[in-house]
Structure 1
Amino acid sequence: MKSQAWVQDRLLVDIRGLSIGFANANGGAPLVQGVDLTIRPGECVALVGESGSGKSLTARSLLGLAGRGALIGAQRFEIAGRDALAFTERDWRGLRGPFAGLVMQDALVSLDPLRTVGAEIAEVLAHHRVLRSRADRRARVHDVMTDVGIPEPAMRARQYAHELSGGLRQRALIASAIAAGPALVIADEPTTALDVTVQAQVLAVLAERLAQGVGVLLISHDLAVVAGIADRVLVMHGGHVVDSGATRDVLHHPSHDYTRQLLAAQPSLESRGHRLSSARIASTARGSMPAIVRDPLPARAASSDRVVLDVEGIGKTYRRRGGARDERFTALDDVSFRVREGEVLGIIGESGSGKSTCGNIVLGLLAPDRGAVRFMGSEWNGAGLAESSRRALRARMQYIPQDPLSSFDPRHAVRELLAEGLHSRRLSRADVLDRSVELLEQVGLGAAYLDRRPVSLSGGQRQRVAIARALAPEPALIVCDEPVSALDVYVQAQVLDLLVSVQARHSTALLFISHDLDVVGHLCDRVLVFKSGRVVEEGDVDTVFAHPRHAYTRLLKASAPTFRHRHEDRLDETSALAREPML
């Protein structure tokens, strides 16, 4: 189903001088001000910038979802050729689905947990009477699921969101957004926290919509993703558009200091040993790539030969939900590796490759079906081992999650969160307070944050508190599961600088799980490549990334977006990857 032909000869979105504010926010001043935005059929326009810059608020205003009490003004605010400033709520409801589809960042939150994926996708078809018969709607659901790369659509349509991997959930969300054949797709961070192969496939789905004449508004903090698909870019900072133009011009020849800062803060293999947040772009000749200058990080002590973590032949299987009663899914199969004192070991691989299952077994949160884990020379996890056997060493292994907000107790202030981490130290109340302040200062916060609750902190601040809490008991190993994947570029740079600095200061070993090859290249000493529950390649980061031996590692490298690729080549690569069989 293609987008409606009646919009193909006009602008889908035509906005001049957009301002958005709320009476009781920002002292009454607009949060978004003076934004000009046009989107044509078959064109991808990207909004980039840090958290709080106004990207999502601008995008949501195109659907009448800016929020209750939003004060919207503009010299011109036309959606589908109509004056949207005069829209009633009924007009907006009629627009959502048939004209514009919305793809959010977190599919697990966006999809209804009480309905199957098939019912979720079919809702827009039934609500707007796009297809009247149940059989036609079911056929359309299966077709659109196939279009977005979901294998076995008939079976997957009967599953619930929590039964799908992150990549499949995101594709199901895209399917629900495009089921009615909208002329405009608004994608708000659609690839955040997805592995590179799934990310490439999601981008390919959007690229195919563009080829069919659908307009796309892409909101992203990932400049490499933007470089791969966007025709034009608007860079937002503090509610204003500070840089705009063709993608190649903005990313290769930024005119504003803020854009230069975003470009320079990107991690990579070349940035290893340097402070990302210090990066700046030196002046270059027209036509050449930006030259990035960075300050060095403090030297790290060489990792010792002392083995902190020894994982030997672990395996884990589950019964496959939605399949036959005796059908089993192998999450891990004979995985072995070691982590030495002071070493940073990265784990990369696609969604469903076993990365997080491995991390949960290492943490002792999940028991392996076979194999064993030794930590600090003691039996840690395996057949017959209970939590009581880990209690003496539990504080020496800590965890930094992807989303601290969902991991922290919302009733606790920062002082309680840190005190909990210090419990094993058996300190006096005064010493706990002193140590908590010291930890906050180490992560660039301070005593003023002790009485703040997690919900009142920004994403970067929450992640700093998570790092401080992990450091509190002076662990020998920290398991980091996608700790920077949801952060914007510059906050990510600050958190990575902090993580490297404190790791060097304490010689703490890190097991760093990530889908971002650039982050792993910047941070890690060695890397394990997971595929289908097995380690298919391992070695020094420099060697594995420069000369990958396994075909799957080469696929990961080819799939990883980078603004250093030529724009046209990137679209060709993405489309080719979309034709690869689902892994």
Structure 2
Amino acid sequence: MKNDFSTARTLVDVRGLDIRFPDANDGEPLVRGVDLTIRAGECVALVGESGSGKSLTARSLIGLAGYGARMSAQRFEIDGTSALQFRERDWRGVRGGFAGLVMQDALVSLDPLRTIGAEIEETLALHVRSGSRAARRARVLETMRDVGMPEPEQRAQQYAHELSGGLRQRALIASAIVASPALVIADEPTTALDVTVQAQILDVLAARLREGIGVLLVSHDLAVVAEVADRVLVMHRGKVVEHGATHDVLARPAHACTRRLIAAQPSAGSRGQRLTSARLRNDVPSGRASLIERDPLPPRQRVSDEALLQVEAVGKRYQRRGARKRAADTGEFIALDNVSFDVRRGEVVGIVGESGSGKSTCAKLVLGLEAPSAGQVCFLGTLWNGAGVHEAARRELRPKLQYIPQDPLSSFDPRYTVRQLLAEALTTSGLDPQQIQDRSVELLEQVGLDAHHLERRPLSLSGGQRQRVAIARAIAPQPELIVCDEPVSALDVYVQAQVLDLLGTLQAELGLSLLFISHDLDVIRHVSDRVLVFKDGRVVEAGDAQRLSDAPQHAYTRLLMASAPSLRRAKEAGSDALVREVELHAG
């Protein structure tokens, strides 16, 4: 570890932390025996799979472990004060002033009835009472600029639902750091962000670290952890199974859980291979980068020359709400401008770009959920979207084009069981009730679930299980093309690997075509045959995924690749890479 924090102010000192809930896990602790120290200027990372206890541990440091939580510890000190007997009033003094919290789901965290500016300013009003309201507003705008929010004066007047996912996350981060707390607890702060904005946020955290603020980073993205963390704690089933200096743990992992998390990371080198089969070689000489081996996915069918989807010079313009018409200002926002591409039978085409680049708008036009302002879309040789095309004309082909959303929980009817969700997807199949039942079980088995899940509702499923149900729904009508809009962005790295392996297997076995949208370059390079790079509503580069990965031509593509954190790049200039990949042929 490069920096020595042994003499720095101790912000958090926890020994032997147990957290239990009387009605969960048969009363056994969900977090067991955790030791955690965070000092000023230090970034400590908690990593692990979903359900490992990372977020529960982090939130306990500000009294948000949850209703009914029973906490015990040999030592539990916050800024030198024992906090085991803190009441709610004591914790309110810790939150916002001493510690700022950045949560993963900004839409849930932000007040839908207040503007973003008012939301951020509240923290200053509560914890920094000195100064005028004008000074607070100036500080709000300055912080919004720090976290990369464009046009902060305009954004401050907007509500959470009017912002993209990336902008909402930046607003939440601004709210957490605006009062300059001594500690920032960042629970998956970059999950919803594209790589360039992610780099900005990591720069913001790095700047706070240089100022002496401590950071507890909870993340499933090991590449992000490698960029900023000084120390890392790996959690598995509520326990810390490995800890140490970040570079040491990630370069030479000792525990099987750590090795599995590192090996499951996708990349350009993992194309055509099973991420969940990955393992680290044990015979690597000391001081050398770890080597990853993987097994191949099933062989794919040959990509045909037939174009299933043709997008021809489409554009999409929106009227800005409340825009003032001036001679030089039409009041329009250009979401897409003259975009053309095709998807061939059996092909996977990836779309990558920043938040607001037009990726999701393009998906809506392809799906026929919105009409283009210019151009047209053809699907299976039929005019699918454009001037004069209505839903009635699409109805017959609609089952052949399906969708996998980013957040199945908000897409599913929460009152429906899995049985009802799948039956709804099979309504056009002409099957009788018993055949629908049999086909539903078959679909669940195809995605790695079973008949026991039929009576479950979305809220009772894990994130990975919900995504598997979403995939089962998508393949139910036997589609030709599936639009995947950020389908793995909210999943931890190992569940992400499971879902990507599932999509790869189904794509090969069923001969599906995929239009795969993501802000994660590693995911895009892993799944795609061709890649389209979007910026400001335009395609700035397109081509073979391997060629684009090896030799990007456009400056913006090179910026995206340079901004993306990676375990395969050195953490410090001149040092060895943390991970190298080797190809393992099926034997």
Taking structure 1 as the reference length, the TM-score comes to: 0.95
Mapped to 2, the partners of 1:405 and 1:148 lie a distance apart of: 28
| Gap change, CA 1:568 and 1:323, over 3 Å in 2 | farther
Mapped to 1, the partners of 2:205 and 2:574 lie a distance apart of: 13
Tell me what 1:215 maps to: 214
Task: Work out whether 1:558 is the aligned partner of 2:557.
Answer: no
Write the deviation string for residues 190-227 of structure 1: whole angstroms up to 9, x where unpaired: 01021111111111111111111100000000000100
Mapped to 2, the partners of 1:456 and 1:525 lie a distance apart of: 36
Write the deviation string for residues 446-465 of structure 1: whole angstroms up to 9, x where unpaired: 11111111111111111111
Tell me what 1:28 maps to: 27
Shift, 1:131, TM fit = 3.1
Shift, 1:570, TM fit = 11
Shift, 1:323, TM fit = 4.6
Mapped to 2, the partners of 1:363 and 1:403 lie a distance apart of: 17
**Are 1:10 and 1:81, in contact at CA under 8 Å, matched by a contact in 2?**
no
Write the deviation string for residues 499-544 of structure 1: whole angstroms up to 9, x where unpaired: 0111111111000001111111111100100000000110110011
Task: Work out whether 1:279 is the aligned partner of 2:260.
Answer: no
SS for the counterpart of 1:295 is coil
After TM superposition, the structure 1 = structure 2 runs for residues 238-253 of structure 1, keeping only pairs within 5 Å, are 238-253=237-252
Count of matched residue pairs: 564
SS for the counterpart of 2:253 is coil
Tell me what 1:81 maps to: 80
Q: Aligned AA for 2:155? A: R
**Are 1:234 and 1:243, in contact at CA under 8 Å, matched by a contact in 2?**
yes
- The runs of at least 4 consecutive aligned structure 1 residues that moved more than 6 Å come to none
| One of 496, 500, 507 as aligned partner of 1:503 | 507
**Are 1:20 and 1:72, in contact at CA under 8 Å, matched by a contact in 2?**
yes
Mapped to 2, the partners of 1:15 and 1:533 lie a distance apart of: 49
Shift, 1:293, TM fit = 1.3
Mapped to 2, the partners of 1:11 and 1:322 lie a distance apart of: 49
| Gap change, CA 1:248 and 1:533, over 3 Å in 2 | same
**Are 1:460 and 1:495, in contact at CA under 8 Å, matched by a contact in 2?**
yes
Tell me what 1:547 maps to: 551
Task: Work out whether 1:417 is the aligned partner of 2:416.
Answer: no
Shift, 1:149, TM fit = 2.4
Tell me what 2:526 maps to: 522
Task: Work out whether 1:338 is the aligned partner of 2:342.
Answer: yes
Q: Aligned AA for 2:243? A: S
**Are 1:363 and 1:397, in contact at CA under 8 Å, matched by a contact in 2?**
yes
Write the deviation string for residues 7-34 of structure 1: whole angstroms up to 9, x where unpaired: x952000001111011111001000001
Shift, 1:322, TM fit = 6.1
Shift, 1:182, TM fit = 0.3
Tell me what 2:155 maps to: 156
| Gap change, CA 1:150 and 1:322, over 3 Å in 2 | farther
Tell me what 1:203 maps to: 202
Unaligned runs of 5+ in 1: 1-7, 572-583
After TM superposition, the structure 1 = structure 2 runs for residues 335-374 of structure 1, keeping only pairs within 5 Å, are 335-374=339-378
Mapped to 2, the partners of 1:306 and 1:154 lie a distance apart of: 49
**Are 2:169 and 2:192, in contact at CA under 8 Å, matched by a contact in 1?**
no
Tell me what 1:377 maps to: 381
Shift, 1:129, TM fit = 4.5
Mapped to 1, the partners of 2:572 and 2:320 lie a distance apart of: 40
Shift, 1:151, TM fit = 2.9
SS for the counterpart of 1:86 is coil
Q: Aligned AA for 2:373? A: D
Write the deviation string for residues 399-440 of structure 1: whole angstroms up to 9, x where unpaired: 000111110111111111111111111111111111111111
Tell me what 2:13 maps to: 14
**Are 1:131 and 1:137, in contact at CA under 8 Å, matched by a contact in 2?**
no
SS for the counterpart of 1:151 is coil
Tell me what 2:253 maps to: 254
Taking structure 2 as the reference length, the TM-score comes to: 0.94
Tell me what 1:433 maps to: 437
Task: Work out whether 1:311 is the aligned partner of 2:307.
Answer: no
Unaligned runs of 5+ in 2: 1-6, 576-587
Tell me what 1:3 maps to: none
Q: Aligned AA for 2:37? A: T
Shift, 1:174, TM fit = 1.1
| One of 400, 405, 410 as aligned partner of 2:409 | 405
Q: Aligned AA for 1:206? A: L
Q: Aligned AA for 1:547? A: A
Q: Aligned AA for 1:188? A: D
Mapped to 1, the partners of 2:193 and 2:574 lie a distance apart of: 18
Mapped to 1, the partners of 2:18 and 2:380 lie a distance apart of: 57
SS for the counterpart of 2:143 is helix
Let me know the Cα RMSD of the aligned residues.
Answer: 1.4
Task: Work out whether 1:43 is the aligned partner of 2:42.
Answer: yes
Task: Work out whether 1:493 is the aligned partner of 2:497.
Answer: yes
Shift, 1:146, TM fit = 2.2
